[in-house]
Structure 1
Amino acid sequence: MFLLKAISSALFILPTLASSMAKNSSFTNPILPGWHSDPSCIYVAEEHNAFFCTTSSFLTFPGMPIYASKDLVNWRLASHVFSKPSQVPQIGDTDTQNGGLWAVTLRYHKGKFYAIVSYTPLSPWAVTGFLFTTTNPYDSSAWSDPLVFPLLDIDPSIFWDDDGTTYLHFSGIHQQTIDLKTAALGPASIIWKGFTEYIPEGPHVYKKDGYYYLMIGEGGTELGHHEVIARSKNISGPYESNPANPILSNQNTTEYLQTVGHADLFQDGNNNWWGAALATRSGPEWTNYPMGRETVLFPVTWEKGAWPVLAPVRGHMSGWPLPKRTRNIRGSGPFVGDPDVIDFHPGSKIPSHFVHWRFPPKDAFAVSPRGHANTLRISPSVANLTSSAPATTPEELSLVMRVQTDTRFAFSVDVEFSPEKEEEETGVTAFLTQTQHLDLGIVMLATGKRDKSGKEELGLHLRFRVTNVPSSASNFNETIPTVVKALPKGWEGAPIRLNIEAVNETHYEFSAASVRKPKAVEIMGTAPGTILSGGDGPFTGTLVGAYATSNGGAGKTDSYISRWRYQGKGQDIGNGEIVPYTPFVGA
C-alpha cells in the first residue's frame, strides 16, 4: 500500500515539477531592453553567485554601466565604470555623434573586476584603450582611473593564460601581450582573419578542454551580422574554423530580432553555458528600430572537446533552468524595466540611471534647490540639442535623459518656467543624436503684437519640432512641420505637464496639459520612430528626458522639473505579440 501511494504521489508530483522547470527555464528577449549594445557578461561565485553584464555607452555620461543579477532576468544597475570626467576627458571633446567608448569587455580575475574598452573620436580614426579595475562593482566611485594604452583597432578583450601571461585581443583579429601594471604592450599579430574575413571584430578567447576557442563577430552590426568561432591548441594559432560557422545569426530570416552578434559566453553556478549578444527589434526591413541595439540572452550547449552550440535568438526562449527568481541583489540604481516615479526629494541625488550627452555645463543641475523643493533645477545651456551635420564643435548641453526601455511607454514631467527673453526654452525630448531628435518645448516667442511703446511683445508658446539632419543616410526622408501654439489661456501660473508616448511600435506622440486639468491634453504632434533609427546613431538607441536652452541667446532663466514619470506599457517581441515590461515569463 505504501509503495502504491508513493508511486501515485510521484506521478502526481512529476508533472508539477516538469511544469515548474518549464516555467523556470523560460524567458523573453531582450533581457536588457532598450539601448544596451555590445554586451559582455560574467558569473562570479565569490559575489554571492551573481551575474554581471556591461554594455557600450559611446558619448553618454556617466558611462560603461554595470548591471547585476542573480537570476539572469532581473537586472539592476550596479554602478558606472566611467563616473568622473577625469577618467576619460576626451569624451568632452568628441564631436562625432557615434564616437566615444565602444564595446566594453568585463572580466573577473583573482578577486578583481576588469573593464576594458576602446575610445575613438571616429574622425580622425584613432583608437585608445582604457582598462579600469575594482573590487567593488556596486560602487561607481570604487572604479579606478584607467590604465591607458594605444590600440590598432576597436573592441579590446582581455585573457589570462594558465602561465600568468595576460593577452589583449581586438578587432582584426589581433593579439598581443599587455602588462597590467605598466601598460607595456608586446608585438601585435593577426591570429585569425575570421570565417568570411569581412569586418572581424569583438573577439573573446575561452580556454576549455585543452583548446583555445576564439569567438568573434563578423559582417558589421547590420543585417549580415553573425558570430563565428575557431579553436587551436596554441593561443597564437593556427586556428581551425568551426565547420558549422556561423554559430549565431538571424541573417536571411524573417525574425523580428535581427543584427544578432557581438556575443560573449559565460557559465552559471551549475556549470551550464549561456551567451549574451546584441540584436535589434527591426525585422528584416531594418528601418524602424528606435530602441537600437539591445541585449539578448540564449542558452549554449558545450560538450567536452566539442564546439559550442548556441541556441537561435528569438523573442520567446527556453533552455537551462534559470536560478531562482529574486531581486535580492545590490546596486546603486533601479532594475532595468522598472518605472520611474521620481520626485526629487530634498537630500536626494540625480538618479544613477540618468545620463547626459557628453559632460553637462558645470552646476547646470540641482536637486531641490532652496525655494523649489521636490524639483530638479536645470540652468539653460547656450547651445540647444541640435548640431549641424556633422557637428564641428562639441557643445555642453543642459540635457538629462534615461534609456527608452519599452517599445510602448509613457513619459512625462511637470515644468515650472518663467522666461523673460526670446527663445528661452525648456522641454522634453526623444533623443538619438544631436542630428536626430524629437522635441516638445515651452518657449518664449514673439506674439506678433506690440505694446504701447511699440516694443514687440513676447509670450509663452508650446513648440513641437523634429530634427532629422544626419550626415549619414536617414530612414525617414519626409518633412514634419514645426508646430507652434500660444500657451492656452488659464495655463499661466501653474506647472505644465509635457508628455511623450510611444503609442505603438512605430510612432511617438507629444502632448501638453496644465496640471490644473491634466486630462485636458493638447496634442502637439506625432513622429515616426524611423527618425530615431540609424542615420548618425546606428550603434545607439533612443533616450527620453528633459532639457533647457537659451537657443544661442542671452537668456539665463532656470526651469524646474518635477514629477518625473516613466511607465513601460509593453514589449513587442515579434509576430504582433506584446508582453509586460519584465522579461520573466514564469510565475
Structure 2
Amino acid sequence: MKFKNPIISGFYPDPSICRVENDFYLVTSTFEYFPGVPIFHSTDLVNWDQIGHCLTTTQQLPLNDTPSSCGIYAPTIRYHEGVFYVVTTNVLEGGNFFVTAINPAGPWSEPIWFENSQGIDPSLFFDEDGKCYLTGTSGNHEKSGIYQVEIDIKTGKYLSERKFIWEGTGGAFPEGPHLYKIGKYYYLMISEGGTEYGHMLTISRSKNLYGPFESYEGNPIMTHRSKNHPIQATGHADLVQHTDSSWWAVFLAFRPIGYPKKHHLGRETFLAPITWTEAGWPIVGDNGIIGEEIESESITSAQHVEWKERDDFDQSVLDFKWIFRRNLLKENYLLNGEEGFLSLIGSSATLRDTATHTFVGRRQEHFDCEISTSLQFKPQDSEEAGLTIFANENFHYEIGLRNMNGKTEVFFRKNIGSISVIEKQLDYEENTIEFRIISDAECYSFEIVSPTGDVTSLGTGECGLLSTEVAGGFTGNVFGLYATGNGEQSRNEARFNWFNYKIARK
C-alpha cells in the first residue's frame, strides 16, 4: 500500500522511535516550546496519534528566558523491561537527562541528570546482558565525533570512562547517534553535514561495543544533497523493525518552496523502508533517495488524517496540539470550558522579548490553509492582543487590536529582523472581531471580519521572510494567539471564543 511523506507534518524534527510488541511510539524535539517532547502512538507506522508530552512541568523542563531554538534538543525513546525511557538535552538548563514512564501517555518521572554532562543528542542502548550505554556527541574541548559511556540507568551515574568511538566519515557536525545490535554486529548510525541542505546519514559497525567501528564504504546511506528534489536535508534518523520483520527509518527533512528555495514549516517527520546489502549494510529508501510517495507491502493500512478543524475551547484542558513559548505564567491564561472561551492576559513582555510572553499556538502543518479566530477585547493603556504567525522573536507577522491615544484600532504589523513596521491601521469601534490568516506556499494574507460580516484586507507578508533560511533557527512557523501590555502587566482579558484551522484542498 502507498503512503505519503511526511508522516507527521509541520515542526516535528529529530524523530526517535521504538516498538513494543505491536505498538510504535515516536518523540520529537521542541526547543523553547512547552510542554516538551510530544509523544505519538501508531500501530502501522503511517497513522500517528499524539497521546501526550513527556515534559509537562517546570521541574522537568525549565525554560528560563530561553532564546528561540534553545531548550530541548533531539530526544531518544527506548523501552526496556517494562519501562519507557526518553533521554534528551536542555541546552541552557542542565544538559543531558532522562525521564521514565510505565505508561507512555504519562505521567513521566522527574528528570535524572547525568553527571559531567557533555555534548548533545544523547541516545540509550540496552545490551543483551542488561547493561545500559549512553551515546552522544563531543562536548567542549573534545575531539569532534561520537562518545559512549556505560551508565547506571537508575541514577544516571557513569560506570566507565567516557570513550571516543567514531569520528564519522568527515562531514561536518557528526551528531544524532543511535547504537543497535543487529545480528552479530553493533551498528552505529549518525548524521553529518549539518541539519541543512548538506545533511546526510552515515553508518558504521563493529563486533565490539566500543569499536573500532568500520565505516560503510557506500556511505552516505541516505542524502538528498546536491539533488533537485522537493524533499531536502534528510537525516537524523532512527531505525525500527516492523512486526513483519521489515526494517524502517524515521527521519527529519524539510520541504522548501520558491526560488531561491526556502522552508518555513520547519523540519518534519518522514518515513522510508530499509533494504540490506548482501554484506549486511542498511540502505534507506531507493538507494538513499526518499520519495514523496512510497509503496510497500509492509504497509497494510490506508493513510488517513482525522482533522479537527475547529476548537471551541469547550473542554477543561487544551488539545495536545497547543503549545506555549517557555514556561507559561498560569495566571495569564483562563480556559473556560463551560462557557467556551480562552482568555489571555498580557504580560509585560512582547513577542520580540526572550522573557516569557503570553502566547499559545499551534504549528503550521500545511502550506495551504486558512486560520481564523474570534476575539472580544477592549484594550486599555498600552494593551494589545491578536493573531500572529511566528518564527522567532525577530521574525513574525501579526494582526491585533490595541489602544492608541484612548481609541481602539486594528493593525497589521511586520517584524523582520531589527525592523518592525505597522503596515496598516484602522480605527475600530466594536469589541468583537474575527482575524484571518490565509496561507499558500508563498504568501500569508491578513484579513479582519467585523460583527456585521464586512471583510477588510490588511495586507500580505512573504512566507520566505519567516523561513529558516532568513530567520535562522531550528523551529518551524507557529500560528499563535497572544496578548501583551507592552512593558506593563495587563489587567484586561483578551477573550478568544474559538480557533479554526482549515486545510485548503487543492
TM-score, reference length from structure 2: 0.93
Q: 2:103 aligns with which of 133, 136, 151?
A: 136
Contact kept? 1:280, 1:289, Cα under 8 Å: yes
Could you list the per-position Cα deviations for residues 38-95 of structure 1 after superposition, in whole angstroms to 9, with x for gaps in the alignment?
11112221xxx12111100001000100011122222111110000111122x1242x
Q: Tell me by how many angstroms 1:480 deviates.
A: 8.2
Q: Distance in 1 between matches of 2:297 and 2:27?
A: 22
Cα deviations across residues 473-525 of structure 1 (Å, max 9, x unaligned)? xxxxxx7852232235xx615x21001111x21111111111331xx311112
Is 2:315 aligned against 1:341? no
Cα distance, 1:259 vs structure 2: 0.7
One-letter amino acid of the counterpart of residue 322, structure 1: I
Which residue of 230, 250, 253 corresponds with 2:227? 253
**Any residues of structure 2 matched to 1:382-397 within 5 Å, and which?**
382-387=348-353, 394-397=354-357
Q: CA deviation at 1:285?
A: 5.7
Question: Structure 1's 138 and 286: CA in aligned 2 closer, same or farther, altered over 3 A?
Answer: farther
Equivalent of residue 417 in structure 1, options 363, 377, 386: 377
1:127, 1:154 within 8 Å by CA — same for their partners in 2?
A: no
Gaps of 5+ in 2: 138-144
Counterpart of 1:461 in structure 2 is 409
CA distance in 2, matches of 1:240, 1:34: 36
Partner SS state of residue 530, structure 1 = helix
Q: How many residues align?
A: 493
Amino acid aligned to 2:4 = T
Over 3 Å counting, the alpha-carbon distance change for 1:526 and 1:257 in structure 2 is same
- Amino acid in the other structure paired with 1:70: T
Matched, 1:106 2:83: no
Query: Is the contact made by 2:257 and 2:442 (CA closer than 8 Å) also made in structure 1?
Result: no
Gaps spanning 5+ residues in structure 1: where?
A: 1-23, 328-334, 388-393, 447-457, 471-478, 571-577, 579-587
Q: Superposition pairs for residues 59-208 of structure 1, below 5 Å?
A: 59-89=32-62, 91-94=63-66, 96-121=67-92, 128-139=95-106, 142-149=107-114, 150-171=116-137, 172-185=145-158, 186-208=160-182
Distance change >3 Å, CA 406–CA 283, structure 1 → 2: closer
Equivalent residue, structure 2, for 1:350: 318
Which structure carries more relative contact order (alpha carbon 8 Å, separation 6+)?
1
Aligned residue type for 1:485: Q
Query: Within 1, Cα distance between the matches of 2:229 and 2:303?
Result: 31
**Amino acid paired to 2:111:** P
- Kindly indicate whether residue 250 of structure 2 is the aligned counterpart of residue 276 of structure 1: yes
Q: Which residue is equivalent to 1:486? A: 426
Residue of structure 1 in register with 2:237 after alignment:
263
1:379 corresponds to: 345
Distance (Å, rounded) in 2 between the aligned partners of 1:66 and 1:196: 33
Structure 2 counterpart of 1:42: 18
In 1, are the aligned partners of 2:311 and 2:499 still within 8 Å (CA)? yes
| Aligned-residue offset at 1:344 | 1.5
Give the distance between the partners of 1:305 and 1:235, measured in 2 at CA. Answer: 20
Q: What residue in structure 1 maps to residue 141 of structure 2?
A: none
Runs of at least 4 residues off by over 6 Å: none
Letter in 2 for 1:538: G
Change (3 A) 1:85 1:512: same
Give the CA deviation at 1:305.
5.5
**Aligned amino acid, residue 446 of structure 2:** F
Q: 1:585: which partner in 2?
A: none
SS in 1 for 2:84: strand
What is the percentage of aligned positions where both structures have the same residue? Answer: 34
State the alpha-carbon separation in 2 of the partners of residues 320 and 92 from structure 1.
Answer: 48
Partner of 1:584: none
Task: Assess, with a 3 A threshold, how the Cα gap between structure 1 residues 369 and 565 changes in structure 2: closer, same or farther.
Answer: closer
| Residues 347 and 489 in structure 2, CA contact (< 8 A), matched pair in contact too | no
Compute the displacement of 1:258 (Å): 0.6
In the alignment, is the contact (CA less than 8 A) between 1:205 and 1:214 conserved in 2?
Answer: yes
Task: Tell whether the 8 Å contact from 2:347 to 2:490 is kept in structure 1 after alignment.
Answer: no
Q: Is the 8 A contact 1:299 1:320 kept in 2?
A: no
Asked if structure 2 preserves the Cα contact closer than 8 Å seen for 1:266 and 1:274, the reply is yes
TM-score by length of 1: 0.80
Q: 1:190 to 1:119 in 2, by over 3 A?
A: same
Give the CA deviation at 1:554.
Answer: 5.6
Question: In structure 2, the residue corresponding to 1:557 is in which secondary structure?
Answer: coil
Post-superposition CA distance 1:87-142 (Å, at most 9, x none) = 122x1242x32210100001111111110001112xxxx86111011111123xx1
- Cα distance 1:569–1:72, how it changes in 2: closer, same or farther (>3 A)? farther
Q: Quick one: which of 196, 199, 204 aligns to 1:230? A: 204
Instruction: Give 1:213 deviation, angstroms.
Output: 0.6
Letter in 2 for 1:513: V
334, 354, 366: which one pairs with 1:366?
334
CA distance in 2 between partners of 1:297 and 1:369 (Å):
37
Q: Which amino acid aligns with 2:443?
A: H
Distance 1:284 1:187 in 2: 49
1:321 is aligned to 298
Structure-1 separation of matches of 2:325 and 2:119: 24
* Other-structure match for 1:308: 282
Q: CA deviation at 1:286?
A: 6.5
CA distance in 2, matches of 1:102, 1:412: 31
Structure 1 position 222, deviation (Å): 1.0
